[in-house]
Amino acid sequence: MNLISINPANGKPLKKYPAHSLKHIEQKIAQTHKAWLGWKNTGHDERSRLLTNMAGILQTRKNELAILMAHEMGKPITQGVAEIEKCAAVCQYYAANAAAFLSDQLIETEASKSFVSFQPIGVVLAIMPWNFPFWQVFRFLAPALAAGNCGVLKHASNVPACAIAIEEVVRQAGFPENVFQTLLINSAMVEKIIENSLIQAVTITGSTHAGKQVAQKAGSLIKKTVLELGGSDAYIILEDADLEKAAEICVNSRLINSGQSCIAAKRFIVVKSVQKVFTGFFLKKMTVKKMGNPLDTATDIGPQARVDLRNELHDQVKRSIKKGAKCILGGEIPKGKNAYYPATILTKVKPGMPAYEEELFGPVAAIITAKDEADAIRIANDSSFGLGAAVFTRDKDKGEKIAANQLQSGSCFVNAMVKSDPRLPFGGIKQSGYGRELGLFGIHEFVNIKTVFVGE
């Protein structure tokens, strides 16, 4: 069997990659485990040096790697460059902070000495998606390596070239051989990999359905998981918001990565008194966004990653319209053998519609009208997802209270676009998953938090 890389901008195959056999996979995992036996004893200074090397290589190769993403999954080139720069930043962050995050913590007890130690656990399996093919991997990989763990990667089947390039970057940075390896496999092989006794934990970024399958299998083997799954982020627009500025932020969030982001804004919940004005600003700003060749720096919206995903998105739009939603922009599949889908706005979105209930993974905005502030918060929380949320108001104190105490999600932003940051923990609740990546909490997910008690 082969993994085939296809350019979604024109539908043309790029390259075939022979899939690894189960025997080959087992050999690779054994190699990575062997590498871990040495890597876990490497000092923090050396780990930091290599992470800094990796950051430098990413910066040097950022244009080349951004072009690779544009070809393989359609990411607009300027966004691809920004993604690689963010990968470099997370490497630098853990190079600078991992030693402090992992230092022993003394605890006062009746012992002559008692403390908490943070020890690496071994080989972690990472199951990663195509939408941010470098960032999703590096936000796992940088803290994993900094903590003394090793990793194997099952990347999405449509981005094998990106997966191979990540392994090349690790090797080029000077890390010991096999501390990180890419497994070229399809999803059917994942269960066998989780069963491998040398795999100690699993992290997955993907759909809620995939997360449930991984969690069930890993749970049956008592292996820890971190799940970063789907989202249907709600952005609340209150009566006192700066409506034009809010519309600009909302549009930019909805269209990040051509709309294919777990934490892209998806549901825009607008208080009734300002709904008409906000929608006008939103429509104006969405209309000027350019859809086109992802290699063109003027492009805002590239193709969707695959034709089947684009068709699923269009079906959600059609079913929402059939149930009463109104399409005021876009909503039509362009001609040609490609995976493009235009910027689309649905209004009059109500419960029972796909645009209200489901995650729309593409450049489709759902505008929902709320009676007032309390109703807007209720609607925002009326979702099976809980990844990110935002609230827009000129009263920052009120916005902070709503974000901190009333919105049900892993990240809540005020007057700003929801985004991940190496310094802050990232993850969701409800059907959006559990566990955290990034920051102090992210590096502690895959370590043995060990109590050491020294008696008299």
| Cβ-contact 379, 359 below 8 angstroms | no
| Cβ-contact 156, 35 below 8 angstroms | no
Catalytic residue from among 72, 87, 91, 228: 228
Of 205, 227, 212, nearest to 134 by C-alpha is: 205
Residues 249, 251, 253: CA angle, nearest 5 degrees = 70
Which residue carries 């501390």 as its tokens?
179
| Cβ-contact 249, 404 below 8 angstroms | no
Residue 259 to residue 390: CA distance in whole angstroms: 17
Active site residue 228: yes
| Cβ-contact 238, 268 below 8 angstroms | no
Q: What six digits make up the tokens of 329?
A: 């922009």
Is residue 451 classed exposed, middle or buried when 0-12, 13-18 and 19+ CB atoms within 10 A define those classes?
exposed
Q: What six digits make up the tokens of 207?
A: 């759909």
Which residue carries 């007890």 as its tokens?
109
Which residue carries 């094998």 as its tokens?
160
Check residue 225 and report its DSSP letter.
E
How far out from the chain centre does Cα 244 lie? 28
**DSSP line for 253-299:** HHHGGGG--TTSEEEEEEEHHHHHHHHHHHHHHHHTPPB--TTSTT-
Is residue 413 classed exposed, middle or buried when 0-12, 13-18 and 19+ CB atoms within 10 A define those classes?
buried
Catalytic residue from among 262, 412, 437, 445: 262
Helix (H) or strand (E) holding 162: helix 160-172
Catalytic residues: 228, 262
